[in-house]
Chain A
Amino acid sequence: MGRPLDLFAAASPEGAWTVSQVTRRARAVVEAGLPPLWVRGEVSGFKAWQSGHWYFALRDKAAQLRCVMFGRDNRRLPAPPSEGMQVFAFGQPTVWDEKGEFRLTVYELLSTEEGGLWKLAFEKAKAALARDGLLEPGRKRHLPPYPRRIAVITSPDGAALKDIIAVVGRRWPIAEVIVLPAQVQGAGAEDELCAALASLRRLAVDVAIVGRGGGSKEDLWTFNRERVARAVAASAVPVISAVGHETDVTLCDLVADWRAPTPSAAAEAATPDQADVRAALEQLGGRLARGLTTRAQRAGDLLARSQDRLVGALSHRLERLADRLAAHGAHLDALSPLKILGRGYAVARDVRGDVLRRVAQFAPGLAFRLRVSDGEVPARTEPS
């Protein structure tokens, strides 16, 4: 038999371990034995702290594993997982000294569900926007037909900006393009996009294009942020959203006044084609000329009609006058003294032309004139 085991020999300040020593040792053992690994489980008791760190547990039917995901790691995720969600977590199993707790420090979290956390975040934000009526089709504003100034909110060195400038330059060079540079992905992109959208209020632009070229789901994610979508909805001028490719539909697309599948298409939606405008101008010119011609013709017709009526009325009146004259003529003829003179009568008139009707008017030696049927004869009474 060997030496009897002295259970109490180490129970002394020299022999006993401190708590810290134990937990530190346990951590070393755990971390050495369990390298970073993927764990599959169900999320339970999720809590996001003010600090930005997430605390939760992963469970299966028989066991549970405490987890922490620090702010610096969870910031990349679109949304926190929901309770009961099946996830894959990649992390380092470790021992948390302070609480003597065995746990998993999570670096990456994926949902096993269709679309995962992205979809979850998208649906959540979409529901919030819908609750506030921001997805109503009736909210959508008309785009100005002939914009003078077009704001473009995008990365200053992206292909999207080049495409937009090329299309606007070809279709509607009358416009001025105002570029509001903003980061479109990564940290700070959300703030920059929101600030640019808010500044539209202070710029005299008619329409704004916000967007970027294609990219991964993570690259495009800023345009799915609820805050950015709300900034689009609150814009002072109509907004055309053009994010990624045809198949990528973001929250910004849903609240924008117009959704374009690509940045080039956005530029087309924002502008008329100058060839069409030229044709429209020619057409307007034609209508202008025809309008005046028609109007002048109508005035001419009216004049001609008036003239006809005037002439008609006048000639009718003249005819009536002629008739009346003829009637008077016959009457006058019947009364004419010449007719009587023709029968051998004569009329005596003094020098003033007064007719001498009585003997008393014939003073001795009076000169007078005798009107007979074919003329006048000078005469004088016998002197007394």
Chain B
Amino acid sequence: MTPPPPVAPDPQDLAAQLERLEQIVRRLEAPELDLDEALKLFEEGVERLRAARERLAQAELKVKKVLEHLDR
């Protein structure tokens, strides 16, 4: 048995999150959508919305110094 593909989106990647959300909303707004599909999209959208909000809430700037380019 193959495991199901991971549905949980990477909560770190807000860009991907927002992009996917846009996509979901646009598809949901299209008239020719199957109701079953609409429900699935909605559920995914809600999950991504929640993850994105959470990510925003816990954000704290990280600063890292890279010196590798100097030791060539």
Q: Is B66 an interface residue (CB 8 A)?
A: yes
The answer to whether B69 and A292 touch across the interface, beta carbons within 8 angstroms, is: no
For residue A175, which residue of chain B has the nearest CB?
A: B61
Tally chain B residues at the interface, Cβ within 8 Å: 37
Residues from chain A with Cβ under 8 Å of B66 in the complex: 178-180, 199, 203
Known: A144-B15, A292-B39. A165 touches B61 (CB 8 A): yes
The answer to whether B38 and A180 touch across the interface, beta carbons within 8 angstroms, is: no
User: Within A288-318, which residues are at the interface with B (CB < 8 Å)?
Assistant: 288, 291-292, 294-296, 298-299
Residues from chain B with Cβ under 8 Å of A278 in the complex: 53, 56
Residues from chain A with Cβ under 8 Å of B68 in the complex: 199, 202
Q: Is A177 an interface residue (CB 8 A)?
A: yes
Q: Is A174 an interface residue (CB 8 A)?
A: yes
Interface on chain A toward B: helix, strand, loop, or mixed SS? helix
Bound CA span A195–B71, Å: 10
Q: Is A147 an interface residue (CB 8 A)?
A: yes
The answer to whether B29 and A287 touch across the interface, beta carbons within 8 angstroms, is: yes
User: Within A161-179, which residues are at the interface with B (CB < 8 Å)?
Assistant: 165, 168-169, 172-179
The answer to whether A291 and B42 touch across the interface, beta carbons within 8 angstroms, is: yes
Q: Is A196 an interface residue (CB 8 A)?
A: yes
Q: Is A277 an interface residue (CB 8 A)?
A: yes
Residues from chain A with Cβ under 8 Å of B69 in the complex: 180, 195-196, 198-199, 202
Bound CA span A166–B45, Å: 33
The answer to whether A177 and B56 touch across the interface, beta carbons within 8 angstroms, is: no
B17 to chain A, nearest CB (A): 9
B15 to chain A, nearest CB (A): 4
User: Within A314-363, which residues are at the interface with B (CB < 8 Å)?
Assistant: none
A63 to chain B, nearest CB (A): 51
Tell me the total A-B contact number using a CB cutoff of 8 A: 108
The answer to whether B56 and A274 touch across the interface, beta carbons within 8 angstroms, is: yes
Bound CA span A169–B31, Å: 41
Residues from chain B with Cβ under 8 Å of A78 in the complex: none
Residues from chain A with Cβ under 8 Å of B18 in the complex: 145-146, 277, 280-281, 284
Q: Mark B47-60, 1 if CB is under 8 A from A, else 0.
A: 00100110110011
B66 to chain A, nearest CB (A): 5
Known: A168-B61, A180-B66. A284 touches B22 (CB 8 A): yes
The answer to whether A146 and B62 touch across the interface, beta carbons within 8 angstroms, is: no
Residues from chain A with Cβ under 8 Å of B21 in the complex: 281, 284, 288
Q: Which of B22, B49, B69 has the most CB of A within 10 A?
A: B69
Residues from chain A with Cβ under 8 Å of B42 in the complex: 288, 291-292
The answer to whether A277 and B63 touch across the interface, beta carbons within 8 angstroms, is: no
The answer to whether A192 and B56 touch across the interface, beta carbons within 8 angstroms, is: no
Bound CA span A204–B25, Å: 29
For residue B53, which residue of chain A has the nearest CB?
A: A281
Q: Is A156 an interface residue (CB 8 A)?
A: yes
Q: Which residues of A contact B (CB under 8 A)?
A: 144-148, 156, 165, 168-169, 172-181, 192, 195-196, 198-199, 202-203, 206, 274, 277-278, 280-281, 284-285, 287-288, 291-292, 294-296, 298-299
Q: What 5 A-B pairs come out closest when comparing CB atoms? A: A291-B28, A199-B69, A146-B15, A169-B61, A173-B59
Q: Other than A206-B15, A292-B42, give 14 A-B pairs with Cβ distance below 8 A.
A: A145-B18, A146-B18, A172-B59, A173-B61, A175-B61, A176-B64, A178-B66, A195-B72, A277-B56, A278-B56, A284-B18, A291-B42, A295-B35, A296-B38
